[in-house]
Amino acid sequence: MEVDATCDRISIIKDGRLVSTLVANDLRHSESKEWMIEFSTTEDYNRFNERVGDTKLFFVTKALPKRNRVNVSIKDMFVNEFIAELSTYGINFFTEIKFTLEDYFMKFYDKNTQVQEGGIVNAVNSDVNHV
């Protein structure tokens, strides 16, 4: 979207109510990233998933066992440890999943997501006026 490239602040309105306000740069420079990893073997996939419970560095957001794939969320400050951990597994690929303004927007308009209206959710600056 061009909105995040041209705007400093972005607000989401749903059903006539302000539900979120964010600074556009915060979306682009988020400290948490999501990665997709495909393991070479089912054994590597299973071993990784067993390891997830032992670590606080990252957590699985989506698992696709038939494809030996997982999506994980990790803070930038732990990326080196994360890559070191991945080096102990057979991996076909891993790639960052970019979080876009459209993804953020759809969190509020997805029928399966419930948003408390009338307030500011995940607002970057709490001095924004409520509607």
Show me where the domains of the chain are located: 1-30+99-131, 32-97
* pTM over cut 0.75: no
| Topology of the domain covering 32-97 | Alpha-Beta Plaits (3.30.70)
| Measured distance CA(102)–CA(100) in Å, rounded | 5
Query: CA-to-CA distance for 65 and 49, rounded, in angstroms?
Result: 10
How confident is the model over 101-122, as pLDDT tens digits?
Answer: 776 677 777 755 444 443 344 4
Cβ neighbours for 111, distance < 8 A, ≥ 6 positions apart: none
Is residue 70 within 8 A of residue 85, CB to CB? The reply is no
pLDDT digits (tens, 9 = 90+) for 33-63: 889 999 999 999 999 988 877 777 888 889 9
How much is the pLDDT for 2?
Answer: 64
Amino acid at 126: S
DSSP class per residue in 14-82: ETTEEEEEEEHHHHHT-SEEEEEEEESSHHHHHHHHHHHTT-SSEEEEEEEGGGTEEEEEEEGGGHHHH
